[in-house]
Structures are given as C-alpha cells and as structure tokens.
Amino acid sequence: MDLLVIAIILAGLYMAWNIGANDLANAMGTSVGTGALTIKQVIIIAAVFEFLGAVFFGKRVTSTIAKGIVPIDMISSIHPDIVVLGMLAAILAASFWVTLATFYNLPVSTSHSIVGSVLGFGLIAAFNGTISFSDIHWGALITIVASWFVSPALGAILAFLIFSIIRRLYLHRASDMPAVEKKFLFLQLITGCYIAFAHGSNDVANAVGPLSAALNVLGVTGTEVPLWILVMGGLGMVIGMATWGYKVVETIGSKITELTPTRGFSAQFATASVVLLHSYSSLPISTTHTLVGSVIGVGLAGGLAAVDLGVIWRIISSWIATVPIAALTSAIIFVGLEVIF
C-alpha cells in the first residue's frame, strides 16, 4: 500500500509541475507581455503567491476533488483498498491526458481532466456494485460543469466592465497616454500577485485532490485536508514554473504585445477575482479559460485591435473531449491496477 501512496505522490507532483509550467505561466504571461515585470520578477512573484494561494486557500477545492464528486467515505467503508487504487488511476489518467494535450498544444484544462478522471473511478465503482450510480454526487458535478461555462463568461463581463471604466476615467481623458499606461504598469504588479494567488488556490487541488482522498481513507490524515499536502502541491507548481514555465511565459509574453498595461490589468484582475470566487465556492475551474474569457471581454469593450473568437470553439471542443476521455482512461487504468494488486 505504501508503494501506491508513493505512486500517487509522484503522479501528483508531476501534475503540479505540469500545472505550474503551463497554466500558471499562461496566467503570468500577460504581465511580461506588457513589460510590467521582467521574467525573473514574474517567477519570484508567481512562486511566492502561487504557494500562498495553494497553502492558505487551496483546501476547499481540494476537498471537492477528493470527496465532492465521488462518495469516497462510502466506498472506503466497504472497500478501503479500492479508493487508493482509484485515486492513483485518476491522477495517472489526468496526467496522461494533460501531457498528451500539451504535446499537441490543445487548450485542455487540468481541472476538467481531474474532475473527469475522478468521475471515471466513481462510475467504475458503481459499475462494480460497490456503490450505486445515484450515490455519485451528480448535483455537485452539474454545478461544477456549469461553473466551467459560467466562469469564462463571468470573466468576460467583469473584464468588459473594468476596461470600460478605465476607458471612461483614464483613456478618454488622457492628454498623455504613455503616462496612463505607466501607472497601470505598477498596478499590474499587484494583479500579477493576485492572479498567482487565485490560481494557486484553485489549481493545487488538481494535483493533490486524489492524494488527499487516498491518505484520508488510509487513516494517515484526518478528514481535513492536511497542510503539508497543499505545501507539496504548491512546491510542485513553483518548480514547474521555474524549470519550464518561464519558457512558456516568454512565448506568451512575446505573442501578446497587444495587451497594454490597462488591458492586461483589466483581464488579470477580472480573471483573478473570478477564480478566487470559485475557490471560495469550492468549484474547480480553469484559470486559463477564464483568462481567455476576460481577454475577450477587454476586446469586446474596444480595448484590442483584433480578437479571434475562433478560440472559443477550440476550447469548447476540448471540454467536450476532456471529461469522457479522462473518465474512460481512469476507468481502464483502475481495472488494470485491480488486476495487478
């Protein structure tokens, strides 16, 4: 059993690394694109605030992933062993899908992947008769999926409003545009911290949710999510940012020079607020998709020279693919593990 826990920890760390290298980097890329922060500053800020967000505000979403979708306690009272196997299957399936998506540059969300793969385990447990299908928390799942639609829309609306206000108060009154943008350069330092904190609070769960559930069942930890698990997840993401994410930040920063500080501020502030709100509501959402929504909001408010809405369809198709694929992979891995152990 120890071997399985170590495997879950390693897979969780890999997932955390991947999240730090990609999603965190996506969120921070806008700060570099505008020249608000240097790449070094971005890594330091991202590391500190991502870590703080994960450790101090990551508990709620982690609980959702661990036991909000599949009734882990119910399964563990019947077959404690299979929970550990199931959580290993879930984290492996999510890692596999996210890696594949990264390889093909698909806009897949780690949150969607982990929710899908945990659901896959729940479904196979129900299929095996350990629990009944109605025991799966469908209501919670529907709320989560609904939040995937709501969060980018909310990001768009909020960013639209914030940019419209900035436009009215500053841009349209400015006699000296560069001075206005310079002011927002400083504000972007704050939103950079804000978005890293928000991201850490929501996305740490994608890496450590299954681990938390497994340890809980094994009796290693209590029912509360222990701090050290969040610390570990936070560290994993920070390492991902420092070892690979900086390249992603550079790539994104060089691509989106169109986002000036006023635009970048609006998008980041809206994204961070929406993500933090969802962390508070224990809902795992995609920070990157919310950021896309926010950028579209700024664009529709007239802040950008050109916005490509074609991305929306790519995101939606990746959503539709992610949950079934992650669930199926998770179920297959689970069956395989059950044969072995």
Partner 1 sequence: MKDYIRSVLDVVAESPFVPLEKHARKGVLAVEKLAEAMEAYCSGNQALLDERTDEIDVLEHEADKIKQKIRASIPSSVRLPVNKKDLLSFLKQQDSIADFAQASAYWMTLRPCKDLPDEIKEGFLELMAASLKAARMYDQLVGELYKLLATSFSKEEIRETLQIVPEVEKLEHDVDVLETALLKKIFEHESAIGGAGVCHLMGLVERIGGIADKSASAADRLRSMILRR
- For partner 1, the binding residues (CB under 8 A) are 22-23, 25-26, 29-30, 98, 101-103, 105-108, 163, 167, 171-174, 177, 181, 248, 251-252, 255-256, 258-260, 288-289, 291-292, 295-296, 299-311, 314-315
In the complex with partner 1, the residue whose CB is nearer, 251 or 281, is 251
CB count in 10 Å sphere of residue 277? 17
Shorter beta-carbon distance to partner 1: residue 213 or 274: 274
Using the Cα atoms of residue 205, residue 207, residue 208 and residue 213 in order, give the sign of their dihedral. positive
The residue (of 146 and 177) whose beta carbon lies closer to partner 1 is 177
DSSP-assigned letter for residue 128: T
Smallest CA-to-CA distance from 137 within 72, 62, 69, 63 is with 69
For residue 250, the minimal CB distance to partner 1 (Å) is 10
**For residue 225, what is the DSSP state?**
P
Which helix (H) or strand (E) element contains residue 51?
helix 39-57
Whose Cβ is closer to partner 1: residue 59's or residue 167's? 167
Please state, in angstroms and rounded to a whole number, the distance separating the CA atoms of residues 58 and 225. 9
Can you read off the two tokens belonging to residue 16? 């955390």
Closest residue by Cα to residue 118 from 102, 95, 151, 100: 95
Determine the Cα–Cα distance for residues 234 and 204; give it in Å rounded to an integer: 6
- Token pair, residue 167, equals 């436009």
DSSP state, residue 24:
I
Report in angstroms how near the CB of residue 48 gets to partner 1 at its nearest: 23
Instruction: Specify whether the CB–CB gap between 322 and 112 falls below 8 A.
Output: yes
Least distance between partner 1 and beta carbon 65 (Å): 19
Round to whole Å and give the CA distance between 256 and 34: 8
In angstroms, give the least distance from the CB of 16 to partner 1: 15
Beta carbon of residue 157, minimum distance to partner 1 (angstroms, whole number)? 16
Q: How far is the CB of 171 from partner 1 (least distance, A)?
A: 5
Residue 266 CB, nearest distance to partner 1 (Å)? 11
| Contact yes or no for 238/114 (Cβ under 8 A) | no
Min CB(138)–partner 1 separation in Å: 28
User: Please, which residue, 52 or 239, has the CB nearer to partner 1?
Assistant: 239
Burial-class residue 303 by CB neighbours within 10 Å (0-12, 13-18, 19+): buried
Query: Closer CB to partner 1, residue 27 or residue 144?
Result: 27
Residue 69 or 159: the one with the smaller Cβ distance to partner 1 is: 159
Q: Which two tokens stand for residue 275?
A: 């993500």
Comparing CB distances to partner 1, the nearer of 132 and 254 is: 254
Residues 6+ apart with CB under 8 A from 210: 8, 12, 65, 66, 87, 88, 90, 91, 114, 118
